[in-house]
Amino acid sequence: MSFSSLGSFVPDYRPASVAAPTGRAGNPRCVNHGSGLQSLRGVRIMEANSRLGDTSDVKRILTAAWTTIAAAPVLAHHSPNLHFIRGEIVEIDGVLSSAQWQNPHTQLAVTVTGANGTEEIWLIEGRSASQYVRAGVTQDAFQVGDPIRVAGFPGRRNPTALFATNILLASGNELVTDNFVEPRWPGGRAMLLSSSNEAVELEELPSDNNGIFRVWGPDRTDHGIEGTGRTLWTDSYPLTDYARSVQENWDRIEDNPYIRCGNGMPAIMDLGTPMEFVQEDDAIALYLEEQDSVRRFYMSEAAAATASAGPFGISLGRWDGDTLEVTTTDIDWDWFDQEGIPQSDDLVVTERFTPSEDGRVLRYELTATDREVFTEPVVLDRVWVWDPTEEVRPYNCIWDRDDL
């Protein structure tokens, strides 16, 4: 079996002594991280006995239930909406010929043999390696040469590409990877990757309260706008004529840095992965699993004066009781969100991180002021939850394909 791993180097995210991987002006870059990921959360498994049959046909199924989702204009980071058609499901049977174990999406190649004996290679985009591991699925589940059955959204441009919603492995395990689908094959043992932190009951959490200085994970009971998993954004903004013109001419693939492992403020705060606050000498570091990113909130103007502009800007923090308030300026990043709304050099972002009294929920509010883009300040909010079993893990974003 041949797998692409996550590399060999695993950094310690906690101490300030380990420099954050950065590129130009502090921009997070793709770095080589280790493959020592361990599962920390179980999944529900429904027992049954089944193995793949030897069929190799391709089944195209138009599913009316997806119509409303397909009509949604939301295009999140690496979303299947970009390259794939949510309003349609295609099913294939074949043999796994290669597997890439990586973020933001695992990549499989499946050889499908038609009725006339002709072989065809299908390209399968799957959920991230991090998501699989958190659901208890390791890279060993994908054995090259094994029979495999896949159902998913077909490619917009590539007729032999799928974004997997259901994967039936030779082991009989069915990976259910989309929030809006059910187990597909009755004989399989369904493993629901959408299993969430609902399993961690609030009353079961320890009572210690460290304020914001802990690992926070996304609220997985909130699937975001139309199931994209992105929970920060709203469905409309008070845009200026200039901003509307830019958005209307935005190419969701060619102009979109997010699908190529880029990110900046404020979009990075719509992350669907854990984050951790760490106290440093003159700053608070926020370690974000997504893109292996690091933000620093300088707690004095003197410290902030030593920082340079970059995609995450220069952030000055202060305490308002238990709330950390952060004002960020000098953001060297062109896009406000992941749908083509621009931002100017005058953008000011004010954030408030407020832990609940019991320390189990972190409420977040973001106010964006940019007169060139918005006719009035934009206020967004979301929450994170504390899961003591969670940690910030290496992400190692890799996106280098143009065949979807």
> Cβ contacts of residue 102 below 8 Å, gap of 6+?
4, 6, 128, 129, 396, 398
> pLDDT averaged over the chain?
78
53 has pLDDT over 50: no
Of residues 23 and 296, more confidently modeled: 296
* Band of residue 192 on the pLDDT scale cut at 50, 70, 90: confident
The pLDDT of residue 231 is 76
* Band of residue 230 on the pLDDT scale cut at 50, 70, 90: low
99 has pLDDT over 70: yes
The pLDDT of residue 69 is 29
Please report, rounded to a whole number, the percentage of residues in the chain having pLDDT higher than 70.
72
Q: Which long-range contacts (CB under 8 A, 24 or more apart) does 235-240 make?
A: 235/74, 237/341, 237/374, 237/378, 238/374, 238/375, 238/376, 238/378, 239/341, 239/373, 239/374, 239/375, 240/371, 240/372, 240/373, 240/374, 240/375
Nearest alpha-carbon partner for 124 in 160, 174, 88:
160
Q: What is the per-residue DSSP string for 48-65?
A: ------S---EEEEE-GG
| 40-54, 146-160, 249-263, 382-396: range with highest mean pLDDT | 146-160
User: What amino acid is encoded at 323 in this protein?
Assistant: T
Structure tokens that stand for 337 in this block: 């969100």
Structure tokens that stand for 339 in this block: 């749908």
Q: For residue 104, is the peptide bond before it cis, meaning its omega torsion is within 30 degrees of 0?
A: yes
3-state secondary structure of 142: coil
Q: What is the mean pLDDT of residues 82-91?
A: 88
Per residue in 287-315, pLDDT tens? 999 889 999 999 999 999 999 999 999 99
CA atoms within 13 A on the CB side of 99: 22
3-state secondary structure of 136: coil
CATH 2.40.50.140 residue window(s) in the chain:
45-194
Structure tokens that stand for 221 in this block: 């009971």
Q: For residue 266, is the peptide bond before it cis, meaning its omega torsion is within 30 degrees of 0?
A: yes
Is the CATH number of domain 45-194 2.70.98.10? Answer: no
The pLDDT of residue 54 is 41
> Cβ contacts of residue 121 below 8 Å, gap of 6+?
97, 109, 110, 111, 112, 160
Nearest alpha-carbon partner for 337 in 75, 139, 129, 124:
75
Q: What is the mean pLDDT of residues 66-90?
A: 57
Of residues 98 and 82, more confidently modeled: 98
Measured in degrees and rounded to the nearest 5, phi and psi for residue 196 equal: -125, 180
> Cβ contacts of residue 122 below 8 Å, gap of 6+?
92, 94, 109, 110, 111, 112, 150, 160, 161, 162
Residue that has been written with the tokens 């972190």 in this structure:
362
pTM of the predicted model over 0.75: no
Burial class (CB in 10 A: 0-12, 13-18, 19+), 243: buried
86 has pLDDT over 90: no
| 205-209, 371-375, 389-393: range with highest mean pLDDT | 371-375
Per residue in 246-286, pLDDT tens? 999 998 778 888 778 889 999 999 988 899 999 999 999 99
* Band of residue 76 on the pLDDT scale cut at 50, 70, 90: very low
The pLDDT of residue 401 is 60
The pLDDT of residue 398 is 83
Burial class (CB in 10 A: 0-12, 13-18, 19+), 110: buried
The pLDDT of residue 159 is 93
User: What amino acid is encoded at 315 in this protein?
Assistant: S
Per residue in 324-371, pLDDT tens? 999 999 999 999 998 899 999 999 999 999 999 888 999 999 999 999
Q: Write the DSSP symbol of residue 84.
A: B
Per residue in 165-188, pLDDT tens? 999 999 999 999 887 789 999 887
The pLDDT of residue 366 is 98
CA–CA distance, 352 with 294 (Å, rounded to integer): 18
Of residues 202 and 243, more confidently modeled: 243
Task: Kindly provide the b/e burial profile for residues 273-291, where b requires at least 16 CB atoms within 10 angstroms of the residue's own CB.
Answer: bbbbbbeeeebbbbbbbbb
